[in-house]
């Protein structure tokens, strides 16, 4: 299984980031005539969370690449024996596949309102249909699923840190975005919050 993971995981994350971030950004940018990447670069809470999130994603991607070439390093990062078995690895791979499909579908449902960060310059449509009828944050939910999937495929202290840190940063980003959306969409967003759960 390790040999399979060495091939699958790097390819998966290249496809995931390529489709979810790069390709979707290019498509939306072409439609709306501006870059949907609106992460703050200042010293605000938005900027700090954005920076930490980017660093976490980069570190996770580097780890997956290193694992592909040096799989024995997994054992240097305190493997969690309870989860280090074939069944959990298969579940992890299944979650990674679900996360990719779920996130792509959620992005399509978001249409031109999709952004990376908080767009204070352009008023976007409040999306409440499709997967957004099940979750107020289906894209973030998909990202959490992918973090769990990675942890289960390579269960050790480092992937556990990626999971915990990623989850915390996502929860903070969700609340920052919800505060913005409450101001941006007023009662419509308040009504939506009352009907649909934050994650699932």
> 62-85 pLDDT, tens per residue?
999 999 999 888 888 999 999 999
Distance (Å, rounded) from C-alpha 13 to C-alpha 10? 5
**pLDDT at position 119, please?**
84
Mean pLDDT of 46-69: 91
> 172-193 pLDDT, tens per residue?
999 999 999 999 999 999 999 9
**pLDDT at position 83, please?**
95
Return the structure tokens found at 17. 């980031």
Fold of 2-195: 1.20.120
Give start and end residues of each alpha helix (H) in the chain: 2-17, 24-32, 45-69, 86-110, 138-153, 157-185, 187-195
Residue (of 149, 30, 163, 172) closest to 96 by Cα position? 149
> 88-137 pLDDT, tens per residue?
999 999 999 999 999 999 999 998 898 888 888 888 899 999 999 999 99
52-56, 138-142, 161-165: segment of lowest average pLDDT: 52-56
Residue (of 180, 158, 159) closest to 44 by Cα position? 180
Query: Pick the residue with more confidence: 147 or 200?
Result: 147
Distance (Å, rounded) from C-alpha 182 to C-alpha 186? 5
Distance (Å, rounded) from C-alpha 91 to C-alpha 179? 35
Mean pLDDT of 133-153: 97
Please, what is the average pLDDT of the chain? 92
Name the pLDDT band for 47 (thresholds 50, 70, 90).
confident
**pLDDT at position 173, please?**
92
H or E stretch covering 60:
helix 45-69
**pLDDT at position 34, please?**
87
Query: Where exactly are the structural domains of the chain?
Result: 2-195
**pLDDT at position 43, please?**
77
Residues 6+ apart with CB under 8 A from 147: 162, 163, 166, 167
> 12-40 pLDDT, tens per residue?
999 998 998 889 999 999 999 988 888 77
């Amino acid at each position: 299984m390790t040999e399979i993971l060495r091939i699958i995981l790097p390819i998966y994350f290249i496809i995931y980031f390529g489709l979810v971030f790069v390709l979707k950004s290019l498509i939306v940018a072409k439609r709306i005539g501006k870059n949907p990447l609106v992460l703050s670069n200042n010293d605000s809470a938005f900027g700090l969370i954005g920076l930490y999130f980017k660093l976490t994603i980069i570190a996770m991607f580097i780890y997956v690449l290193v694992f592909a070439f040096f799989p024995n390093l997994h054992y240097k990062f305190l493997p969690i024996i309870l989860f280090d078995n074939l069944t959990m690895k298969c579940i992890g791979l299944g979650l990674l596949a679900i996360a990719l499909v779920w996130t792509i579908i959620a992005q399509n449902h978001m249409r031109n309102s999709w952004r990376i960060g908080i767009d204070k310059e352009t008023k976007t449509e409040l999306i409440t249909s499709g997967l957004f009828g099940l979750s107020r944050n289906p894209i973030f939910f998909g990202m959490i699923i992918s973090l769990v999937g990675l942890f289960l495929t390579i269960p050790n202290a480092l992937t556990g840190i990626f999971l915990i840190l990623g989850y915390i940063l996502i929860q903070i980003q969700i609340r920052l975005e919800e505060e913005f959306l409450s101001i941006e969409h007023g009662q419509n967003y308040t009504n939506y919050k009352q009907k649909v759960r934050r994650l699932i």
